[in-house]
Chains A and B, each alone.
Chain A
């Protein structure tokens, strides 16, 4: 059974159809890149998979391990293992990052019927992951993403990914707002999480990110559909010739 199956997905936002019958199959262990110009519907796809309010699914389905994802609340999806790394992680003043991590992790574990982490175990785990990602302890005491640089915010996303151990990671424009060094640190963090049990969907406008996170499959989106799929060489092809050829194809 595939990990994620998107079948003929149609999505509207305020009366306007954004996705017109999109299909995508992702198996465990695979890394898929979704590329496309602005407005092609890439972010919409990630939001609908995670269950962001404001989108109306008018047709098609999304199965996750064979279960109907669209029937689930966003938090239930998270507990099932769907993780969305946000393009713009929000700031939550007054809520210490550490508190947030613990609350979220335990909420997911509780939903799965697993026991809560003890404080020492939790701290040990966070410290270990944080150290690997070069995230100082001081940052964890601050409010979630409050006063973080662009790179720090993305590293915080990767930290959560490592901590929550999701089976599907969707990285929405992870490279936006990052310089090369910050991008490399974040990408290294992501690569360390690649595993046969986990799949990743990397959404990006530019090929650049795919030099660091090398995908198994590349899909090109245009005007709400996948218009071409191929191996990693497709990304290089795009880099050379641009999206224009696909605009017409769509």
Chain B
């Protein structure tokens, strides 16, 4: 069958790449074993395709076709291009941690003079040095999803952040992934964020490209553990180059009375997929997970969220907005599971898509899976165009068509952005949205 052929071809190409790259991948012993297993798990499935339910709307065999070879470590020229790109995307008041072509760049980062209670290391360091506790967390993700498995096999570098119990970080941490724009290549990164009990922190992740970067692939994953009574505010902005691929996964676990406020915005990359699992491990916790896809051209962006209510008395709120122009394709899959003992769960999800062109496409799959009776769960989904009467009203008041649209689009994505708790993070999201609107002309 065709499918099998495609799998074998890409599989072979990649297994050669894995063999070649193996020397460059950190970690021996258990780590190397885990890599091998993960790679075998990946090879059994290959790139996910539409017959795999979770990837129904994002067929990587058709969209990505192949996994590019591992990127070379950045040379001086690459670091220079990355530094230039960084200037354009600098955020004031944050601690920068930069990965260029998937490798930590100490020269562009601020990893010294740490606040009390904050620890920062690199993935390469942790996997190489044999810290069993951190390694166990880093090797935690199962190989059930083939893209997660691939990341587990190939992870090259990343940031490992630990925040001690009771520490309240004042300065947001900003992990920036930069593609320097050399030859077409793939970068594989994995970061870990361990937030202690009663600690609080803010994490920003950005994905950007240096000038001239064309085809490249970002394969990233983030593992987050939030302690009891801790709080994490999180924003991720995908502003990759327009020919880039960004396949990211995250796995978040919350202790008791913990709080996770997360927001994702995708306006860049050609094909992107963000799949996040958020699991409640202690009672009385809350997740707010919100997102916006802003797409045009032939962009394809998939946000797949999985809320796992495994324990009682937790609440979750999901608000998602997609604005799709030209021949863009936005996908939102939201799955909420309420396990048998998770009584008093309060889970709500709302997804809305705004289609700006006749050829734009939006697929929504908001899913509820409920095994406990004393719950309040619901979801809503709408798809439609801009309201003509509102547009006309604004035009009649003197706005151009684009201006009127921009105003209504801002209002549309506003609800998702407003749910960001921190003012400064909200500003980040708003300016990212404005950049997209401005680029639209």
Q: Do chains A and B touch in the complex (CB under 8 A)?
A: no
Chain A interface (Cβ < 8 Å from any Cβ of B): none
B residues in contact (CB < 8 Å) with A: none
